[in-house]
Amino acid sequence: MLQVITADGDFDPKLVPDLSDEDLLKIHRFMLTVRRLNEKGMSLQRQGRLGFFMESTGQEACQIGAAYALSAQDWALPSYRDPGMCLVRGVPLATLLDQLMANSADESKGRSLPTHWSFRKWNVVSLSSPIGSKLLHAVGIAYAAKYKRDKLVCFTSMGEGATSQGEFHAAMNFAGVYRAPVVFFCENNQYAISLPARRQTASESFAIKAEAYGFEGVQVDGNDVLAVYKAVRSAVDKARSGGGPTLIEAVTYRMGGHSSSDDPSVYRNDEEVEMWKRRDPIARFTAYLTRKGILTESAVQKQSEEIDAYISRTVKERETVKPPAPSTLFTDVYSEMPWNLQEEAEEFMAEEGRE
């Protein structure tokens, strides 16, 4: 397993990737932002201000490290547990909140389940709730890029539960045969809802599955942001240069429940959770930056306060945005609305006007 930073912040200088101090501080701030966004999202859902939320506490290193290794022209198909990937790619926090709140400013007009990100401007492709389906879309995008000789890479993330789906096999097989420039990123967070990883596969790892399809599989410490960055950057560079796909397994842990509707205490014990808390990705990276003299405790405290204030301010602002207009029920289905749907729309809007 590739690891650059140990749980206590120690590191191997030979493995440290070439990132500037400015980049390291940006990565740290992104990780803190995602952690605070998770906490805020769960709080808003419990208060009835969000209908649904899926947190990613404990998986910050995965999403930030991976996204930081991509270029702007690359395509990303993140999972519902990857808001940080969207932020790194330039999606404003306000735009993420619009999606979560399903308001009229949401680019999908409130039609997608919260955390199902889709932002064309930033090359972020919508996921579908059926697990594994977007892997096929990622391979299709990657193959199209290869066919057109575009020097771009398609990156897609998934949980380990997706490896049990038929779409995983089809996507991996096609990618291997046609050497598509795609990076498969498996965030092995130990549970597919309530099913533990040990019951998900008989393989010694998820990374090893790549061998059956004729390309490289890499296992990385998913709580080590530098290791994640290093592994993904290597896979992206290889794909861009014509070397074909890579499957990366990032070993991490989902600290919260599967979603705001889940109670994880039913299927896992406190001792296990405490063990993974000691491997916290943010605490680890903070210890590393402190050892390097790049960050101080007071600076972290100041950053945290700034981020908290920024998120709270943005939430209040986005809560003033009205819901989508009822008329949007009839838009974006046909390029030219057929007569029967036009009649239904007119009748519906007339009824709306009388209320």
Give whole-number Cα distances, 48 to 65, 101, 191, 256, 260, in Å. 32, 11, 27, 19, 11
Cα–Cα dist 134/184, whole Å? 11
Among 28, 116, 254, 318, the active-site one is: 254
Among 36, 111, 179, 267, the active-site one is: 267
254 as an active site residue: the answer is yes
267 as an active site residue: the answer is yes
Task: Using the structure block, give the residue that is written with the tokens 């299927």.
Answer: 267
Cα–Cα dist 282/288, whole Å? 10
Cα–Cα dist 309/329, whole Å? 35
- Among candidate residues 289, 219, 274, the one with its CA nearest the CA of residue 16: 289
Residue 109 CB contacts under 8 Å (≥ 6 apart), including other chains = 324, 328, 331, 332
Residue 327 CA to its chain's centroid (Å): 32
- Among candidate residues 12, 82, 71, the one with its CA nearest the CA of residue 226: 12
116 as an active site residue: the answer is no
Among 35, 258, 284, 318, the active-site one is: 258
Active site residues: 254, 258, 267
